[in-house]
């Protein structure tokens, strides 16, 4: 059968109809690309004045002395200083002609001064940070938010449509052009034999390409994307409201369009160059992913794929879940069918929601009453099974089920090798080729705990991480563990985040507080000492301050999260703030109920308060609706406070976060801060930038029992109370 006959058999259109259909597709592709380009130009046009102002704001702070740094120290700056020109911005605002009118400044020097100032300005422009602040809605920023609104609301299908349009032009454009001689007898008459042969081949290529585009839905995808881009511009108020709800999407797009991604080394977790290059060479298929990724998130997903068995230790709020989902989606595109996620019960609901929102794979909640049916459905049809760390041991998965990736969220919960959950995690790591451990706190009390996680992945690597290397500091570990560990911090990769302001609120004991505290010291009850300031609510100085802070937040329409380790403290706070306070979220509240409490808190218009036990609320809940955090007392584990704050100060937060930690100047609070300072420094040194440690001379651990005993003994001496046994430091004031 000839090519022409096969074309007629397929379409019934003949060569002209076939090319007409192809041209219609190409026209749709060109139209979409033009519409998209105009939308991008609108964003870049709105961005230009903001970037120019940011550069000016930066240069006005740079003294003229910095000009020597970029000129090898050759420039004479005395004439500038004598003329009152004290900043680089002032130099740029003064023309070279006016500069050379200064005594001692000739044409060549004036040109050199301007060139040096321009070099600094160029550097400032490259690093200029553009922040969208809901509390500073000036016309220029509003114009940018309105321009971004169009692209954000075009949805994730826009990027697919644009990619399809570009690919269509590359694949379909040449054969359509080459097929022209086959469209009429007179064109064939003037074409040579070679061109006629190429025209027949081109018709065959078009006939093969069009069914493929039909299968992809290109004919509908392209015009729909154009319609989305051509909708009337939103009003400023509408765009700002949408931004508050979807800030992460706006910032992701802004970072991409404005080249505001973080420095390369920070985004790559300060990995050695060889490892980083290997990761960047790893493809990342987005066919089954429905969201865009930030540059550092794409790098994290590639790291998991390229290195196969890794720990992703990104700080709270950077999107570890979506990076794991992106890696899973890539493996699904490559033929993987079954994936398993194990997580604490508190985050299981969040995982199910994220999977549904971020990818096309089915999520199976293998937990609770319906676990047997969910497990059978997963085994039969594939997708992502989500279970809890404590239920993982009972998961009966036949050995023939090919688990393409095993993901463990909050992996530090599996740090104790003797615990059943840890043994089960280790067993699953042993039977699965690709493993991804997620943890924002790779060590809490003992740096050796991190070796346990590494041992699940690469036992052979432990021999390379010896105590001698640890003794010389964290840098000695960086190269040793680069194959398995990646960590990035908010301050390095989320330049758009509003600042977080920490305020220590020192409250003197009231008489009733003092009496309760002395009783707790006499009894040797460390946990009662920690919550003595709330023992008598009617006379509590800390409770009075909680009420004041909540009242100030209410006047400003801000949402508040109140954290405490103790349930009876939260009950006292609830009594002061009234029944409208949401919660409390505690360890005894089922995961689905926790999420419902958070949803109600988030959906409440204006001011609202959520009460949460810090060990429950710091894990797995997204609280970026809140911009005020109240910590009722300092925590034994510094990482617990950091996690709690990280639940609010994360990607998607649009307001400055105020963190108020309530402290008493005399007693347990002050001593805890002094003693625990070493633990916070240890975490910063060894874990914050992809560092591990097993032991180091300065890494002195303070266990909770010894901390309690030490403080009780010191307080007895200070208060001259009698000796007694130290009570259980695990008491949480009403259960976990």
Cα–Cα distances in angstroms (integers) from residue 417 to residues 413, 453, 639, in the given order: 10, 9, 21
Per the CB < 8 A criterion, the answer to whether 292 and 252 are in contact is: yes
Stretch 115-140: mean pLDDT:
80
How far is C-alpha 523 from the geometric centre of its chain's CA atoms?
Answer: 45
Main-chain dihedrals φ then ψ at residue 404, nearest 5 degrees: -80, -25
Instruction: Give the CA distances from residue 292 to residues 151, 296, 303, 326, in Å, rounded to whole numbers and listed in that order.
Output: 12, 12, 17, 10
User: Higher model confidence: residue 344 or residue 699?
Assistant: 344
Q: How far, in Å, CA of 691 to CA of 683, rounded?
A: 9
Higher pLDDT, 138 or 676: 138
Query: Packing angle between helix 193-216 and helix 3-11, nearest 10 degrees?
Result: 30
Q: For the chain, what's the residue count?
A: 736
For residues 247-251, average pLDDT: 79
CATH 3.40.50.10810-classified regions of the chain: 264-487
Average pLDDT over residues 581-607: 86
Residues 530 and 544: their CA atoms lie apart, in Å, by 17
Interval 254-267 mean pLDDT: 66
Percentage of the chain beyond pLDDT 90 is 31
Mean pLDDT of 110-117: 84
CATH code of domain 498-686+703-719:
3.40.50.300
Which of the pair, 73 or 523, is modelled with greater confidence?
A: 523
Q: How far is CA 127 from CA 55, 444, 559, 657, in A?
A: 9, 34, 32, 24
Other beta carbons less than 10 A from residue 733's beta carbon: 19
Sheet holding 309-312, edge to edge: 363-365, 383-388, 338-343, 403-408, 435-438, 309-312, 485-486
Number of H helices, E strands in the chain: 33, 13
Residue 186's pLDDT is what? 60
The pLDDT assigned to 615 comes to 81
For the chain, give every residue range classified as CATH 1.10.150.
Answer: 50-127
Of 66, 40, 68, the closest CA to residue 151 belongs to 40
Kindly report the CATH number that applies to the domain delimited by 50-127: 1.10.150
Statement: residue 647 has pLDDT above 50: yes
Backbone angles phi, psi at 531, to 5 degrees: -115, 15
**Of residues 118 and 702, which shows the higher confidence score?**
118
Q: Which residue is it, tokens 């651990």?
A: 701
Which CATH entry fits the domain spanning 264-487: 3.40.50.970, 1.10.3720.10, 3.40.50.10810, 3.20.10.10? 3.40.50.10810
| 474 touches 507 (CB < 8 A) | no
Q: What mean pLDDT is predicted for residues 603-630?
A: 80
- The mean pLDDT of 83-110, rounded to a whole number, is 85
Query: Which residues make Cβ contacts (< 8 Å) with residue 12, sequence separation at least 6?
Result: none
The pLDDT score that the predictor gives to residue 2 is 38
Return the bridge partners of 319, or none.
Answer: none
**pLDDT at position 699:** 29
Using pLDDT thresholds of 50, 70 and 90, give the confidence band for residue 649: low
For 271-292, write each residue's pLDDT tens digit: 777 888 899 899 999 889 988 8
User: How far apart are the two ends of the chain, measured CA to CA in Å?
Assistant: 77
CA distances from 419 to 127, 345, 387, 413, 414 (A): 48, 17, 18, 10, 8
Range(s) of the chain covered by CATH 3.40.50.300: 498-686+703-719
Q: How many CA atoms lie within 13 A of 336 on its CB side?
A: 24
The region of weakest confidence among 12-21, 336-345, 384-393 is 12-21
Share of the chain above pLDDT 70, in %: 81
Mean of all residue pLDDT scores within the chain: 81
Average confidence (pLDDT) over 484-490: 81
Comparing 76 with 283, which gets the higher pLDDT?
A: 283
pLDDT over 60 (residue 477): no
Say how far apart CA 103 and CA 705 lie, in whole Å. Answer: 73
**CA angle at 195 for the pair 189 and 200, rounded to the nearest 5°:** 95
């Amino acid at each position: 059968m000839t090519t022409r006959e096969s074309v007629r058999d397929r379409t019934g259109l003949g060569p002209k109809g076939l090319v007409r259909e192809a041209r219609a597709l190409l026209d749709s592709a060109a139209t979409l690309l033009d519409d998209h380009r105009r939308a991008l130009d609108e964003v870049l046009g709105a961005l230009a004045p903001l970037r120019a102002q940011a550069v000016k704001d930066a240069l006005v702070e740079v003294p003229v002395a910095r000009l020597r740094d970029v000129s090898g120290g050759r420039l004479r700056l005395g004439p500038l200083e004598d003329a009152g020109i004290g900043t680089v911005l002032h130099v740029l605002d003064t023309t070279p002609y006016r500069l050379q009118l200064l005594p001692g400044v000739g044409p060549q020097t004036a040109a050199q001064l301007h060139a040096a100032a321009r070099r600094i300005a160029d550097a400032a422009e490259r690093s200029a940070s553009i922040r969208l602040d809901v509390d500073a809605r000036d016309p220029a920023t509003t114009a940018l938010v309105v321009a971004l609104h169009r692209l954000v609301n075009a949805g994730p299908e826009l990027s697919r449509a644009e990619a399809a349009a570009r690919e269509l032009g590359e694949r379909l454009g040449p054969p359509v052009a080459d097929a022209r001689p086959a469209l009429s007898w007179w064109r064939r008459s003037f074409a040579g034999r070679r061109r006629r042969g190429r025209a027949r081949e081109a018709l065959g290529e078009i006939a093969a390409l069009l069914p493929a585009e039909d299968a992809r839905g290109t004919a509908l995808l392209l015009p729909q994307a154009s319609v989305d881009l051509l909708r009337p511009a939103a009003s400023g108020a509408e765009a700002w409201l949408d931004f508050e709800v979807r800030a992460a999407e706006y910032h992701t797009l802004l970072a991409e369009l404005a080249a505001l991604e973080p420095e390369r080394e920070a985004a790559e977790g300060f990995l050695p160059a060889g490892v980083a290059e290997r990761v960047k060479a790893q493809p990342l298929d987005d066919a089954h992913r429905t969201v865009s990724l930030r540059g550092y998130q794409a790098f994290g997903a590639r790291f998991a794929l390229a290195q196969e068995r890794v720990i992703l230790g990104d700080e709270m709020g950077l999107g570890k879940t979506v990076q794991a989902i992106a890696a899973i989606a890539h493996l699904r595109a490559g033929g993987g069918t079954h994936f398993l996620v194990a997580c604490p019960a508190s985050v299981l609901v969040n995982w199910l929601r994220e999977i549904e929102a971020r990818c096309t794979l089915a999520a199976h909640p293998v937990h609770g009453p319906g676990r047997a049916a969910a497990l059978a459905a997963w085994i039969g049809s594939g997708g992502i099974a989500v279970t809890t760390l404590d239920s993982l041991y009972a998961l009966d998965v036949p050995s023939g089920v090919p688990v393409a990736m095993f993901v463990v969220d909050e992996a530090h919960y599996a740090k104790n090798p003797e615990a059943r959950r840890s043994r089960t995690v280790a067993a699953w790591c042993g039977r699965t080729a690709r493993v991804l451990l997620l943890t924002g706190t790779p060590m809490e009390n003992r740096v050796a705990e991190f070796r346990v996680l590494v041992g699940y992945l690469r036992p052979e690597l432990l021999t390379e991480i010896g105590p001698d290397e640890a003794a010389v500091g964290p840098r000695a570990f960086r190269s040793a563990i680069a194959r398995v560990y990646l960590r990035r911090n908010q301050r390095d990769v989320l330049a758009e985040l509003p600042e977080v302001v920490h305020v220590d609120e020192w409250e003197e004991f009231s008489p009733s507080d003092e009496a309760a505290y002395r009783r707790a010291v006499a009894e040797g009850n460390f946990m009662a000492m920690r919550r003595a300031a709330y023992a008598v609510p009617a006379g509590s100085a800390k409770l009075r301050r909680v009420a004041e802070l909540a009242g100030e937040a209410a006047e400003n329409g801000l949402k508040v999260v109140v954290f405490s380790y103790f349930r009876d403290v939260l009950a006292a706070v609830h009594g002061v703030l009234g029944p409208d306070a949401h919660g409390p979220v505690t360890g005894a509240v089922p995961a689905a109920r926790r999420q419902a409490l958070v949803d109600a808190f988030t959906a409440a218009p204006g001011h609202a308060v959520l009460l949460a036990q810090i060990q429950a609320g710091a894990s797995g809940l997204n609280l970026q609706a809140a911009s005020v955090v109240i910590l009722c007392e300092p925590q034994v584990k510094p990482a617990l406070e950091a996690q709690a704050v990280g639940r609010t100060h994360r990607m998607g937060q649009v307001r400055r976060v105020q963190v108020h930690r309530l402290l008493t100047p005399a007693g347990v609070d002050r001593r805890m801060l002094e003693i625990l300072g070493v633990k916070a420094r240890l975490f910063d040194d060894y874990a914050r930038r992809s560092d591990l440690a097993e032991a180091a001379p300065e890494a002195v651990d303070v266990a909770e029992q010894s901390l309690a005993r030490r403080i009780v003994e010191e307080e007895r001496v200070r208060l001259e109370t009698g000796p007694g046994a130290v009570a259980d430091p695990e008491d949480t004031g009403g259960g976990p």
